Structure formats: C-alpha cells, structure tokens
Amino acid sequence: MCGIVGYTGYREAYPVIIKGLKRLEYRGYDSSGVALLNTGLKVYKKKGKVAELEEDVIGKDLHGHIGIGHTRWATHGEPSDRNAHPHLSNSGNLAMIHNGIIENYVPIKNDLLKKGYSFKSDTDTEVLLNFIEDIQQNNNCGLEEALRIALKRIVGAYCILLISKDDPETIIAARKGSPLVIGIGKGEHFLASDASPIIEYTKEVVYVNDYEIAIIRPDELILKNLGNEKQTPFIQKLDLELAAIEKGGYSHFMLKEIHEQSETIHDCLRGRLLPEVGKIMMGGIENHIDALKNAPRILIVACGTSWHAGLLAEYMIEELCRIPVEVEYASEFRYRNPVIHKGDVIIAISQSGETADTLVALESAKEKGAFIFGVVNVVGSSIARLSHAGAYTHAGPEIGVASTKAFTGQITVLTMMALKIGFAKGTITNERYLQLMNDLNAVPEKVAVILKNTSNIERIAEKYKDAHDFLFLGRGYNFPIALEGALKLKEISYIHAEGYPAAEMKHGPIALVDENLPVVFVATKDSYYEKIVSNVQEIKARKGKVIAVATENDTVIPSMADDVMFVPDADEIIAPLLSVIPLQLLSYFVGIAKGYDVDKPRNLAKSVTVE
Ligand code: G6P
C-alpha cells in the first residue's frame, strides 16, 4: 500500500509525478504530496485524493526537473496534511517518501528526541528520515552511506525515495518488502511502485530487489547491495500497453474490468487449454509434474479475494487429484508455526504478487523446504520471483480496488492446474477430463452472454440498496462464491454482508432473517440443487427476501425467489466462473446507487504491502 513516484531528467517533474500518482491511487488515497527540487526544496501535501492536492497547488511554484511523490494508505498517524508524505528532515535539506512500516521507530524516535530533534508528524517515516540525517551529520558521511547504515539498523518494510538539496539531480532509493520499478529513458529515469506510471515514457525497466539501494541520476542508474557492492541491473521489457491501464470509455475501472472478463478468461486459456487434442500446456506444471502429483499435501496461501479462489481450488484439487488440501490465510499461516514437510507444495495466490503477509509466509515456507507454486497476475512481482514455478493469470492490470477479473483469472488457472495434475495422476477419467476441458473452453462465450444485458441486476441493486445487512449462501463449489459475493458487497457498498455455507445458516445466521433481510442464494443446478431448494424454502418460511443466482431455464428456484439473476448452464466445477459475475455487478450497482467511489472504496487499498 502507498504509491510512490519519482522522476529525474529533462522534463518538468510535477506533471509526470501527478499523473503517476493518479495511476497508483489504487494503493491508497488517504493523502498525497510531492517534493520538487529546483533552486530550493519545495514540498506540497494534502489530505485526501490526488485531485485535492492538484487543486491545492494551483498558482504555486511547481518548477523542477527532479521530484518525488506519494499517495498514502495510513499506517502510523491519521490521514491529515501533516502526516502526508513527503517529509522534510529537521535541517530542511532532505525530503523522503516511504511505503512500508518501520517497526522499531519508537526507540529511534526517543533517541532523536533526546538529541533535540523535533517531529511535525506522527509517522515512522519522519523518524527514519531524521535518523538518516543524524547518522550523516555524526559520521560526516555522504547520504548514501548514511542511508546504508540506517537501513541496517531498522526493522520493517520499506521502499523509500530520498532527495537532497546538496545533490539536486539524484534520487536515492531503497527497497525491502515494498515494490520498486525503475524506468530507463534517454537522459531521464522514472521510479514507481509499479510500472503503470512509467509505461507511457519507456518500456525498459529494472525491478529493484530487496536489500538493494539505487542511485539514480538523469544519465545514470547505479544499483548496490547493503554491503556497498555494485549489482548489475537486470533490464526487462514491459509487456503492457497504455490502453490497458485506462478506462476505455467505461465510467469506472471496476465496471470495465467486470466487462473484460470474457476476454481475460479467454487470454488465460489461450495456448494452454487445447481440448481438440486433449492437452493442457502449462510449462510451470509440466516441468514439475512429479513434485505436484506426488505431493503428500497441498497448502494454499492467500488473502482476501485470492483466498476465496484458494478455497475453490481446495474443492477442485481434492475432487480431481485426490490430494489433501488446506487453505490458509497468509497472515495466520506466517505466525502460527505451521507444520511444513519437505515435499509439501504451497500454492500462493495473489493478484498483485506483493501482499506482505503472503510474501513473508512463502519466504518462511521456502526456507523449510516447501515447493512454491505462484498463481499471480502481476508479471515480475515479488511473489512471482520468489516462486519455484508458477502460472500467470494474464488478466492484465487490475486497477479497481475490489478484485474482479483477477479472481476469474485465478479460478481459470487453478481449474487447469487441477485438471492437468488429476489427469497426470490418473485420478480423473479421460472422459471427465475432456468434458471439463470443453466446459472450461466455453466459459468466455457464456460470460459474454451474462454481460450482454445487465439491466435486471441494476434493477435488483436499486431495489435492495437501502438494506442494512445481506446474507450470501451457497453449497459446494458455490460456497466460496457466496463468500466472494459478500466480500464484494461489503467493500463497495459498505453494507454489512456475510457469506455462509447454506446449510450452516441454520446454526446461527437464520436468527437474523426477517422481512428486511435480503438473502442471496448462489443456487445454480449442481449436485446440491435439491438441498439448496430446501434452504431457500427455510428462508422464505421466515419472510426473508430471496435473490437467487440461478441456471437459465430453471423454473423451481425462480418460482420461489423474489428476484433472479440467470447464468448459463455449466458443470458444477466450472459454474463458479459464471455465478460470480452477477454478484460482482450487484455490488457495483449497489455502490453506484449509493453514490460511492467504487474504484476507491474507503479505507481499502489494492496492494496490501504492510502486515
Ligand atoms: C486487498 C485487495 C483485495 C485482494 C487482497 C489480496 O485486500 O483489496 O482485492 O484480494 O488484497 O491481494 P492479492 O494482490 O495478494 O491478491
């Protein structure tokens, strides 16, 4: 969380930085700020979104060919002007922005206070900055050396950009745990938390690794480790087009991303799923098929929406591959000293590939000898690089904070994985393998059918938008989708929503049911269909309002439900790829009907790079 941008070169830095910050706003939008260097060092910062900063600086001196900018997701210190980054050091010589958390900032701050330092903000960042300044003054050394000493003494995660009045062409950057990409231009360099602010200027980038320091001037990029040894920058070509990170005529990124799903699922399948020859081509699996099919158990580690994809994968892998699977919240897994044996396979699922809890959980599992398979969307991200093998979801950049197309991309990859491993292991018949491949292949077309006309879902959203609570119920493969539907609604509309296995509803949530409670049933035709029909009856008997996701041509569920959202028929293993789409749209339309910023829901951030 928190987005950072830096520029040094021949252009005016301010417009590059502001545009970049807008692209990174999905990482946090509690406050934003810029620092620009020309004859002096100027800092402008403001609580709220980047647009508010832009308004605030109208008429001010924004000149400068070097600058750094930050959009914040608050950790230490409430969102306010004074806690916004960049921060200035006590001498006024240095300005710094930071993405991450310095855990041992309290004793450092106390030491600095004793030495007479004062602090304008409540942030850990201002402490680190003054710590660096103090080291520089005491040791009479350069900024780079002072930074190196400071970084060896702090505990936590960081990506920092630092500029100094004494060296008005240079940005010094360092990373541990929080991402940093450097774009290489001709006579200019760009720095950012991800490639989106860089893409329109250059496609040549370097992903900075943990424990590296970068010294960046218009014509020079020097990479060093914390031991002051030079590292060779590994220059990569970005495979990303500008159009992919723009709204393309849609009113919101979330809506655009929901509508892209027919295409993104197709992209994910393309060249991999070959039903005509009965093959699934996935290098990451083929090269490690023995480790995967002989795994004594599979652990799935993820957070948020990705965790829901993991839960679905548990159902698929256990059914198709007969391998025991456990699905873990990364934040719990990393701290509870889990039992991991050599040979265990860990599947890490992450859109961003940067989620701090997932990343650290994997690092420790890797040390214990587990084989890590990454299912990641962002190419070149930290989790992708840490994994032994993996498969990208190929959903393209996802900007809306609530995950949609990345989720269906994850399910698509995980379904292909389960099919491929199950087939290699001999735990599914040839016939079932081919049938599921064909069903999966038909998904993009069926998604397009759902998206063709969304007015019924918009009507349902308008009807229930004032409800205070929602229940989402599903059984079997539709249970993770019920959880995901509830999470989407919470995130986007701020309505309290809970997802439950439909039968478990009788053990508590049924007490909530009255004529005001909308209950969403994910009730497509599957092996639990008769059971879920009974669950719908139980809600109706208590006057609950039933909204159902039902299979086209079903007549039973629609006859009982107050409102229905239809999806095309599919095998129960494949159906979640369809049944989730109306739920994404429902939360989108409720959020819009309530007048909320659906792309940037309050308090959330897309890439959670703090614990
Ligand atoms: C945040 C996002 C969610 C996402 C979760 C995990 O909470 O708002 O949409 O599911 O992080 O992120 P990851 O990038 O690891 O999938």
pLDDT digits (tens, 9 = 90+) for 348-363: 999 999 998 999 899 9
What's the CA-to-centroid distance between 361 and ligand 1, angstroms? 15
Residue 305 in contact with residue 406, Cβ under 8 Å? yes
User: At 126, phi and psi to the nearest 5?
Assistant: -65, -30
Q: Which residues pair with 221 in a beta bridge?
A: 216
Angstrom distance (rounded) from CA 30 to CA 27: 10
Specify whether the backbone of 343 is left (phi greater than 0), alpha (psi in -120 to 50) or beta: left
Closest Cα to atom 2, ligand 1: which residue? 606
In the chain, what's the furthest Cα-to-Cα distance? 80
Q: For residue 306, report the distance from its CA to the centre of ligand 1, in Å.
A: 7
Which pLDDT value is given to residue 334?
82
pLDDT: is 300 or 505 the higher one? 300
Say if residues 161 and 172 touch (Cβ distance below 8 Å): yes
606 in active site: yes
**What would the DSSP string read from start to end of 142-196?**
-HHHHHHHHHHH--EEEEEEEEETTSTT-EEEEEEBS--EEEE-SS-EEEESSST
Distance 607 CA to ligand 1 centre (A): 6
pLDDT at 527 over 70: yes
Ligand 1 atom with minimal separation from the 305 CA: 10
Mean pLDDT, rounded, for 52-79: 93
Q: Tell me which residue of 362, 265, 357 sits closest to 304, measured CA to CA.
A: 357
Residue 534: both structure tokens together: 């009974």
Residues 581, 574: contact at Cβ < 8 Å? no
From 253, 328, 352, give the residue whose CB has the most ligand 1 atoms within 8 Å, as the site to mutate: 352
Instruction: Supply the mean pLDDT for the chain.
Output: 94
Q: Is 453-611 in the same CATH topology as 247-452?
A: yes
Q: Which residue owns the Cα nearest ligand 1 atom 15?
A: 350
Does residue 611 carry a pLDDT above 80?
A: no
Q: Which of 2, 159, 268, 321 is catalytic?
A: 2
Task: Check residue 462 and give its pLDDT.
Answer: 97
Active site residue 303: no
Burial (CB < 10 A; 0-12, 13-18, 19+), residue 244, is middle
What's CA 611's distance to the chain center, in Å? 14
Residue 381 alpha carbon to ligand 1 centre in Å: 14
Tell which residue, 328, 513, 488, 515, has the closest CA to residue 404: 488
Q: Tell me which CATH code domain 247-452 carries.
A: 3.40.50.10490
Sequence-separated (6 or more) residues with CB below 8 Å from residue 69: 4, 5, 6, 17, 18, 20, 21, 32, 33, 34, 35, 86, 97
For residue 414, pLDDT over 80 is answered with: yes
For ligand 1, the distance from its centroid to the CA atom of residue 375, given in whole angstroms, is 13
- Ligand 1 mean position to 251 CA, how many Å? 22
CA distances to 142, 505, 611 from 32, rounded to whole Å, are 29, 44, 21
Q: Is the pLDDT of residue 502 over 70?
A: yes
Stated pTM of the model: 0.83
3-state SS string over 74-94?
CCCCCCCCCCCCCEECCCCCE
The pLDDT assigned to 343 comes to 86
> What is the pLDDT at residue 319?
97
Report the separation in Å between the CA atom of 252 and the middle of ligand 1, taken as the mean of its atom positions. Answer: 19
Atom of ligand 1 nearest to the CA of 302: 15
- Residue 606: pLDDT band by 50, 70, 90 thresholds? confident
Ligand 1 pocket test, pick from 306, 491, 611 with the greatest ligand atom count within 8 Å of Cβ, gives: 306
Active-site position among 45, 46, 420, 606: 606
Domain boundaries, the chain: 3-243, 247-452, 453-611
Write out pLDDT tens, residues 469-501. Answer: 999 999 999 999 999 999 999 999 999 999 999
Looking at ligand 1, which residue's alpha carbon is closest to its atom 1? Answer: 606
Mutate to test the pocket of ligand 1, among 301, 378, 608, 610 (most ligand atoms within 8 A of CB): 608
Rounded to the nearest 10 degrees, what angle do helices 304-321 and 479-493 cross at?
A: 170
CATH topology of domain 453-611: Rossmann fold (3.40.50)
Handedness of CA 363, 367, 368, 374 (dihedral sign): positive
Residue 335 binned pLDDT confidence (cut-offs 50, 70, 90): confident
Which residues form ligand 1's pocket by a CB distance below 6 Å?
A: 303-306, 350-352, 355, 358, 401-403, 604, 606-608
Q: Of all atoms in ligand 1, which is nearest to the CA of residue 605?
A: 8
| Identity of the amino acid at 497 | A
Quick check: 579 and 480 in contact, CB under 8 A? no
pLDDT band at 513 (very low <50, low <70, confident <90, very high): confident
Cα torsion through 535, 536, 541, 545, rounded to 10 = 140
d(CA 147, CA 81): 26
Please state which CATH number belongs to domain 3-243.
Answer: 3.60.20.10
